[in-house]
Amino acid sequence: MKKRYGDQLFKAIAYIFGCSIIAMLGLMVWEMFRGSSFALDKYGLGFLFSSSWDPVTEEFGAWPFIYGTIVSSLLALVIATPISIGIAIFLVEVAPKWFRDVVGFLIELLAAIPSIVYGLWGIFVLGPIIREYVAPVFINTLGKFIPFFAGPSFGVGIFTAGVILAIMIIPTIASISREVIMVVPDAQREAALALGATKWEMIRTAVLTYSRSGILGAMIIGLGRAIGETMSVTMVIGNRPEVPDSIFDPAYTMASVIANEFNEASSDIYLSTLIEIGFLLFAVTLLVNIFARFLVWTTSRGIQEAK
Amino acid sequence: MESVLESVKEQKMNKLNAKLGRRRAFSFFMVGLTILSMILALTPLFSILGYVLVKGIPALNVAFFTELPAPPGEAGGGMANGIVGTFTLIGLASLIGVPVGLMAGVFLSEYGRNRFGKLVSFLTDIMLGVPSIVVGIVVYALVVLWMGGFSAYAGGVALAFIMIPAVTRTTEEMLKLVPNHIREAGLALGIPKWRVIMLIILPTALRGIITGIMLAVARVSGETAPLLFTAFGNMYWNQSLNEPIASMPVLVFNYAISPYAEWQAQAWAGALTLILIVLVLNVSARLVTRKR
């Protein structure tokens, strides 16, 4: 049998392109590390918890941005999770088939809208609605006891950013939850119904307990999206580099400070600081995604083995 | 005696029935909540589409598609250079992203059923979750600093970084859908494996792969963050790919946060155009797969 040089060459080319994915990720890690090393050396770990942000005196701390990112993303997760699980249940267990396709398409459309359009809508539509109608409700009730919900509201701020992020991550959480709910075997549902469960009891006992860790994975993937989302947040969060006292105050996130100040960074240390914030953002989203993939993967594998 | 037993039985049944009624009502309520959550999620979608149409259409005119941006505060002008720039950037990104993503997908599907392949597949998933602003920084360090300035090339590379994992993932999935007996039939005829892949398997999965590419293009056509410090933006026509280039998302961003009413109106028109591009790509990608 003659040797197939063509095959070997093709295989080598395929392997090179496979390696290119690893190379790209490696290159990203390396470039981020190299770019931030100046700031890493100068400020060390204290950088993470310092709240000063003064480009003139070159005093930099990342805490306002870390805080803003955490609060806005968690807020998004709190709003988006119940709605997303509701949609997933509706699509799999409640809706008739033709309707399922229509709603599925619309939810996908929500994911396809560019984030810049969300930002534009956030500035001119959502922000004013929150300032006029939503924020006063919170400020006049909860705000009287808890300073975190006290006013005033400008329409731009950490709350508006959280709502926009929630809308943006609903398609992600809903579609992954839908997939994990769909792989629940029908025998489970039939068993619950045969024991006399109502529809909701069947969903809670047979479906949700079965897909719990998959839904958790979906939430964490959604959280990763929210942490890294840049443009829409930059446009509505108010961009003030201080730790906010109230949920309606303007704030800043890690992604939005990079988007706003990268081109204005006048000194090497300023630029390096921004790259370090980017590096941190990169590391956090990597960890979050790895953890989430692991969760979703174990769920779907567990179900396949049970079959 | 008999009648006492009967009445006890009846009481029990009544209790059970009442309980069942409550359970049914609660079930009904919870199912209602799932419908409510769907409505809650779709309200912003219709609000966005509605506002973009209502505010975008009045600002759309011939000048929007043919003229350069007007100076701040002046009426008129358009986004012609941004529209051309966006398509230029998409072209550059596809030129790099499609072949790399395609071949990486071929690798994963045809040669990747081993540990190394699993690692690459995992890393592809991870890359899909990297924030686009991070890609912007990396390409700034790699291309902008190296070439000495913002350029269309840098913007194209940044978008390619975002396209590649998406194209890889869909290509892999589509190729894995091709039944194994087709591969076996080709190999049994004595055709070399690489020609089986290129001439038989890839064409079989072509529709699905094209769908994936269209969705990846739709995704990067609205990307803004990685372009801010790679392509940067430009208020004039480009003379070469080696200089900063305008793009619609960046123009919409700059116009939206500006204080001028004329610019804000044009931002809505730009948003409408962007949504139309994304929508056309999405719907046609769906039609391509449906014909199968």
pLDDT digits (tens, 9 = 90+) for B255-271: 999 988 888 999 999 99
pLDDT digits (tens, 9 = 90+) for A184-222: 999 999 999 999 899 999 999 999 998 998 999 999 999
CB of A21 less than 8 A from some CB of B: yes
pLDDT for A307 equals 42
The domain ranges of chain B are 1-59, 64-289
pTM of model > 0.90: yes
CB of A268 less than 8 A from some CB of B: no
Q: What is the mean pLDDT of chain B?
A: 91
Q: Which residue of B has its CA nearest to A17?
A: B104
pLDDT for A2 equals 55
pLDDT for B179 equals 92
Tokens, residue B3: 């009648």
Quote ipTM for the complex. 0.92
Q: Length of chain B in residues, anyone?
A: 292
CB atoms A114 and B36 under 8 Å:
no
For residues A206 and A234, the answer to whether their CB atoms sit within 8 Å is no
Give Rg (Cα) of chain B: 28
A45 has a pLDDT exceeding 90: no
Of A7, A105, A116, the CB nearest to B224: A116
Cα separation, B246 vs B253, whole angstroms: 12
B162 has a pLDDT exceeding 90: yes
What distance lies between CA B122 and its chain's CA centroid? 20
CB of A2 less than 8 A from some CB of B: no
Q: What is the mean pLDDT of chain A?
A: 91
Mean pLDDT of the region B100-126:
93
Tokens, residue B25: 């009502």
Burial classification of residue B74, based on how many CB atoms lie within 10 Å of its CB (0-12 exposed, 13-18 middle, 19 or more buried): exposed
Task: List the CATH code of the domain at B64-289.
Answer: 1.10.3720.10
Q: Which residues of A touch B29 (CB under 8 A)?
A: 200
CB atoms A120 and B37 under 8 Å:
no
Q: Smallest CA–CA separation between A142 and chain B, in Å? A: 23
Which residues fall within 8 angstroms of residue B248, CB to CB, at 6 or more apart? Answer: B79, B82, B83, B85, B86, B270, B273, B274
pLDDT for B196 equals 92
A123 has a pLDDT exceeding 60: yes
For residues B167 and B98, the answer to whether their CB atoms sit within 8 Å is yes
Q: Smallest CA–CA separation between A115 and chain B, in Å? A: 7
pLDDT for B50 equals 96
Superfamily of domain A5-305: MetI-like (1.10.3720.10)
pLDDT for B57 equals 94
Residue A302's pLDDT band, with cuts at 50, 70 and 90, is low
Residue A27 is which amino acid?
A: L
Cα separation, B177 vs B162, whole angstroms: 24
pLDDT digits (tens, 9 = 90+) for B45-56: 999 999 999 999
A304 has a pLDDT exceeding 60: no
